[in-house]
Structure 1
Amino acid sequence: MVISQGAFAAMVFTDRWFMSQLDAVHIAAAMGGAVAAFFSKSLFVGLISYANALVAQYYGAGQLQRCPRVVSQGVIIAVCALPFLALITVGVGQAFAYMGHDPLQVPLERAYFYALMAGSFFHLLKACLACYFVGIGRTRVVMLVDVAGICLNIPLTWLLVFGHGGLPELGIVGAALGTVCSQAFTIVLFLLFYLNRTHRLRFAVPESFCFDRGVMRRYLRLGSPSALESFMNTATFNLFLLMFQGYGVVQGASMAIVFNWDMLSFVPMMGLGMGVMTLIGQFVGRGDMQRANQVISSGFILALSYSAILALVFLIFRVELVEVFATDDSYFAEIRTLAATMMIGLTTYMMADAVILIAGGALRGAGDTRWIMLTSTSLHWLMLVVQYFVIVRWQMDPLVSWWVFVAMLLMIASAYSVRLYRGRWRRPERLARVMQE
C-alpha cells in the first residue's frame, strides 16, 4: 500500500513538475484546480472509500459472499452521485472568478478543474475497487494496478502537455486528461482481477450484482460520517488554500511546491493507515481484538520512522528541494525564499501526520467514524475561522497563516492519540453494534 500510494504521489509530483516547465502561474493553477476537484468529489469519495473497512470486517467474519456486495453498493452510490457532481462542477467552476486570484491564473485552474471533473465516475469506481482488494488483503493487486497506471500516466501526460508524438499541445488540460485516462486504464486492470474465474467462484461475484439492503444500510451508517468528515475537511482546506492564494502568485506557487514535497511523506503513509484500518477491520469481524495493539504499534513504528527520516532530509535540503521547481520567470527568487521557510513548517507537522494516519486508521477500522468526524471537522473549522482573520481581516504575513495551519495538525494528532489510548472504541458492545446490519 505504501508503494501504491507512492505511485499516486509520483503522478501528482510529476504533473506539478511539468507545470513548472511552463511557468509559476501554471503551478499555482494546477494546485488550485486539483484541490477544488477533490473538494467537489470528497463527499462521495469519502463514502465509497469506507468499502475498505466494510470488506475487511466481512472478510474477517468469514462472510466472503458479502464482500463483493459492498462493491455493488459502491457502484450504485457512484451512479447516483453523477447528477450531483454535474451540478457541483458548474457551481464551483463559476466560483473561481470570485476568489481574488491572479487574472492569469483563473482560466487555467478552471480548465484543469473541468477536465478532472469529467472523469469523476472513473475516480469513484477506481476507489471502490481498490478498497475492495485492500479489504480482502490482496494489496499486491492494488500495487500492481497503481504502478501500471503511473507507467501510463507519466509519458501520456508529457505527450499531452507539451504536444509530442503528434498529439496536440494541451498544456494544463493535458495534465488533467492524462490523469483521467490512467484512471480508466486502472479500472480495466482491476476488473480483470475481479472477474477472474478463481476469485469469481470463491467470493460468489455473479450473485453480488444486486441491491443489498443490509449491506447498503451498514455502508451508509458507518460510511456517512467518514464522507462528511472528508467533505468538511476538504472544504476547510480548500477555502484556506483559496484565501492563501489571494496573497498572490508567489504565495500560491510556494504552497504548491511545499505540498508537492509533503505528498512524498503524507501519501505513502496513507498506505500504512489503510493497512492498519484493514487489519483492525478484520479483527473486528473475527471478534479478536487482542492483536490490535500489535497492529497499532507496528503502524506507529513504521510511520514515525519514515516521517522522521524524511523530515530530516527536507530540513537539511529545503532550498535545493524548492529549486527542483525553478521557473524562468521573475517570480522564482521570492518563491525560493518563502517556500524554503515554509518547508520548516512542513518538517514540524510531518510526525503529526504520521500519528493522525495510524490512529485514524485504527479508529475507522473499528467503526469509530462519528467521533473522528466531530473532532476533525471541529478543529478544521476552528483553523479556518482563525485563517479568515489572519489573512482577510488582519492581512498578516503569509508565514503567520502557515503556522496556524501547522498548529491545527498538531492539535488533531494530540486528540487522536488520546482517543486511541483511552480505548472506548474497542469495547465489546460498541464493536457488536458496528457489525449489525
Structure 2
Amino acid sequence: MSSFAKRKATTTQMTTPSAHPQNHSSDSVRSIISELLSVALPLMVSAGTFSLVLFADRTLLLWYDGTSMSASMAGGNFFWVATCLPVGIASMTGAIISQYVGAGEEHKIGRFLWQSIFLGIFSIPFFSLVAVAAPELFRFAEQPESLIPAEVTYMRLLLVGAVGAVLENALSGFFSGTERTRVIMWVSLASGIINLVLDWLLIFGPGPFPELGIAGAAIGSSIAFWFKAACFASLIFYYDRDGRYQVRKQFGFDWPLIEKLLYFGFPSGLMFLTEASGFTAMVLRIGRLGDVPLRATTMAINFNMVAFIPLVGVSIAASVLVGRHLIETGPSRAIKSVVAALAIGWAYSAVWCAAYLLLPDTMMNLYELNTPSEESAQAIAIARGLLTFVAIYVVVDATQLILAGALRGAGDTWFVLGTGMVTSVFSFAVGLSFEPALTFAQETSNASLHWWWWMITMWVWLLAIFMAGRFIQGRWKKMRMV
C-alpha cells in the first residue's frame, strides 16, 4: 500500500468534525438553499454556456452539411474518451481544495495546484499518439468509410486544445474549491461567445474568413479551451497577490501531493473514461446503422445536453460543499446540502422532461430553420421519437450525477469508479447480446436504434440506483482527503 493510501486509511476512521470550524451559517432550509445556489448557479451558467456552445456547434454543422454533424458526434465522443482520464483527475482539484479551505490550510493550496498543472503538461505525449492513431480507431469502431475523414479531422483539431481542456479543469478547481464560482461563470461566458463567433466565421467563411466546415468548428473549440486556461491562470495570480495561497512561492514538484491527486483523482478519471467509453461504444453501434440514425441520435443528444450539462454545475457544488462541511461541521450539514442539490436538480430536469414529452415538434423545428436535405429531414423525424427516451431518464440522470458528485466530494471515488465500470460493461454486454440483427431494412434499422436507446436508458437508471444506495448506506461520512 502506498504511503498516502496508508495515511488515508487512518484518516477515514475520523468521525468528528474539524477542530477549526469557519464561519458556520444557520442550518435553516433557507440558508442551506441560499448557500448552495450561491455556489451552484454560476456553475450552472458556466456549464450551460458549454452545452449551448455544443448545441450551436452541431446545429451549425447540420446547416452546413448534415454529414459533418454526424461526424462531429463520433469525433467529439472519441475526443472525450481520449481526454476524460486526465480531465477527470484534474477535476478533483476543486474538491480537495475545498477540504484545505475547511481545514484552515489555505497556504497549502498553491503547492497542490501546481501538481494538477503538471498533470496537464505530462498528458501531451498521450494526446499526440491518439491523434496519430485516429484513422485506425474509427475503422476499428466500424464507422462508415464516408464519415471517417471528417471524424479524424474533427478529433485531431480538437486534440490541439486537449491540454488546454485539462488545464482549465484543473485551474477552475481553485475557484470552485474556494467558492469563487462567479469567476468560472464569467470566464465561461466569455469563452462561449468567442467559440460561437469563431464557429460561425470558420464553418461558413463569410467575408475574408476561410470556409473550413467541420475543421473550423474544431479550431474554434480548441481556441476556446486555451482561452479559458489562460484566463484562469491570470486570475489565480490576481487572487493570490497577497500570498494567501502561496501560488507563486510553492512552484515545483511534490510527489506526495501528486500521489494524493492521483489516489483520489485517478478513480474519478477512470469513472469518466468508463462512462464515456460505454456511451461512445453505444453511439458507435448506432453509427453502424448508417448516417441517418447517427444524425438522429446526435439531434436528440444535443437537446439532452442542454438539460444535462448545467446539472454538472449542481454536481460540482454538491462536491465542494460536502468536502468543506465534512471537515468543518461533520456529515449532518453535508447531507442537507446534498438534499438541497437534489431538489434543485429534480425541479430543473422535470421542466425538461415535460418539454421533451409535450414539445418535441417545437424543438426539432430548430433544425429545419435552414432547408434540410432529404437525409436530415428523415433524421429529424426519427429524433422526435428519441426525445421520449430522454424524458424517461432525464430526472434519474440528475439524481446519479448529483449523488456521484457528493460521493466524490467526500473522497469515495473508488466506489464511483466501480459503479461506472460495472454498469457500463453490463449495459453494453446486454446490448450486444440481444441486439437485433443488422440488415438494410428500415424497420430493422429502427428496431436496432431503439434497442440501443433502451440500453442508454437502463444504464442511467442503474447508475442512479447504485449511487443512491451508497449515499444512503453512509460510509462516505467517515472519509477525508486532507
TM over 0.5: yes
Structure 2: distance between partners of 1:55 and 1:211: 17
1:350-369 alignment, distance < 5 Å: 350-369=394-413
Q: Partner residue of 1:340?
A: 384
Instruction: Evaluate the alpha carbon distance shift between residue 324 and residue 89 of structure 1 in structure 2; reply closer, same or farther with a 3 A threshold.
Output: same
Structure 2: distance between partners of 1:344 and 1:8: 24
1:26-425 alignment, distance < 5 Å: 26-196=68-238, 199-286=241-328, 288-326=330-368, 328-391=372-435, 396-425=447-476
* 1:54-89 Cα distance to aligned partner (Å, 9 max, x none): 111111111111112222001111111111221122
Structure 2: distance between partners of 1:397 and 1:205: 53
Does structure 2 retain, via aligned residues, the 8 Å contact 1:28–1:256?
Answer: yes
2:355 alignment partner AA: V
Does structure 1 retain, via aligned residues, the 8 Å contact 2:111–2:246?
Answer: no
Does structure 2 retain, via aligned residues, the 8 Å contact 1:226–1:370?
Answer: yes
Structure 2: distance between partners of 1:362 and 1:231: 19
Structure 1: distance between partners of 2:130 and 2:308: 27
Structure 1: distance between partners of 2:59 and 2:423: 32
1:245 alignment partner AA: G
Shift of 1:119: 1.4
Structure 1: distance between partners of 2:85 and 2:263: 14
Identical-pair percentage: 27
* 1:328-362 Cα distance to aligned partner (Å, 9 max, x none): 21113321232111100001100111101111111
- Mean alpha-carbon deviation: is it higher for 287-296 or for 1-10? 287-296
- Mean alpha-carbon deviation: is it higher for 77-86 or for 32-41? 77-86
1:84 alignment partner AA: F
Does structure 1 retain, via aligned residues, the 8 Å contact 2:109–2:246?
Answer: no
Residue ranges of structure 1 left out of the alignment (5+ in a row): none
- Mean alpha-carbon deviation: is it higher for 381-390 or for 297-306? 381-390
Structure 1: distance between partners of 2:423 and 2:437: 20
Structure 1: distance between partners of 2:242 and 2:324: 21
Q: Partner residue of 1:4?
A: 46
Structure 2: distance between partners of 1:293 and 1:328: 49
Does structure 2 retain, via aligned residues, the 8 Å contact 1:20–1:26?
Answer: yes
Q: Partner residue of 2:477?
A: 426
* 1:299-348 Cα distance to aligned partner (Å, 9 max, x none): 01100000001110121111221231235211133212321111000011
Structure 1: distance between partners of 2:148 and 2:238: 46
Residue ranges of structure 2 left out of the alignment (5+ in a row): 1-42, 440-446
Shift of 1:295: 0.2
- Mean alpha-carbon deviation: is it higher for 75-84 or for 340-349? 75-84
Shift of 1:264: 0.9
Structure 2: distance between partners of 1:400 and 1:243: 11
Structure 1: distance between partners of 2:125 and 2:163: 11
Structure 2: distance between partners of 1:220 and 1:160: 38
1:73 alignment partner AA: Q
Q: How many residues align?
A: 431
What is the TM-score when the length of structure 1 is the normalising length?
Answer: 0.95
- SS, match of residue 25 in structure 1: helix
- For the aligned residues, what is the CA RMSD? 1.6
- SS, match of residue 64 in structure 2: coil
Give 2:63's match in structure 1, choosing from 2, 21, 25: 21
Instruction: Evaluate the alpha carbon distance shift between residue 70 and residue 325 of structure 1 in structure 2; reply closer, same or farther with a 3 A threshold.
Output: farther
Structure 2: distance between partners of 1:410 and 1:56: 30
Instruction: Evaluate the alpha carbon distance shift between residue 403 and residue 6 of structure 1 in structure 2; reply closer, same or farther with a 3 A threshold.
Output: same
- SS, match of residue 331 in structure 2: coil
